Amino acid sequence: MQLRFFQIQAGDHLAGEELNKFLRSHRVLCIDRELTRRDSSPAWAVCVEYLEGVGPSPSTGGPRRSEERKVDYKEMLSAADFGIFSSLRELRKSLAEAEGVPVYAVFTNDQLAKLAQTRPASKAALEKVEGVGVSKIEKYGERMLAVIAAAAVIPA
């Protein structure tokens, strides 16, 4: 996951086109924007969160099949880890639905698999998973840790 920042001053069509070109050529996870002032005139400050190396397909805007990575987590993870992974996916789905965002904006499957494998017991340990930062830990950390802790007490 990567971040790219844009600042577009009112009437700056070239900067707007640069942003549009970037959006068309990348798999965008999230866009944050805020109206600010730059040199006494209004401007948009835009932060784009995107996946590195994955662009939209020309026809659907989704990922290109050749770039899409299919992982069978049931084969990749142990039975116990897959149980935790499944529980984390259920939690992720409910969190995403409550916020009206795609599930991958909450956590990716790779992040959930890493959480299932490493079974972090603290917020500090959550930060060691790539792409899991302070914001996600503040929003979701307690609930993710609770699912992991509950799975640890259930015999495999």
Domains and CATH numbers, the chain: 2-51 (no CATH), 73-153 (1.10.150.80)
pLDDT in tens, 139-150: 999 999 999 999
Q: Picking from 33-37, 41-45, 57-61, which range would have the lowest pLDDT averaged per residue?
A: 57-61
pLDDT in tens, 46-94: 999 888 766 664 444 554 444 455 788 888 889 999 999 999 999 999 9
37: pLDDT confidence band, cut at 50, 70 and 90?
confident
Q: What is the pLDDT of residue 58?
A: 47
pTM of the predicted protein model: 0.56
DSSP string across 59-107: TTSSB-TTT-----HHHHS-HHHHHHHHHHHHHHHHHHHHHTS-HHHH-
Task: Report the percentage of the chain scoring pLDDT > 90.
Answer: 42
Burial of residue 130 (CB within 10 Å: 0-12, 13-18, 19+) is exposed
Q: What is the pLDDT of residue 67?
A: 46
Q: What is the pLDDT of residue 41?
A: 86
- The identity of residue 11, as a single letter, is G
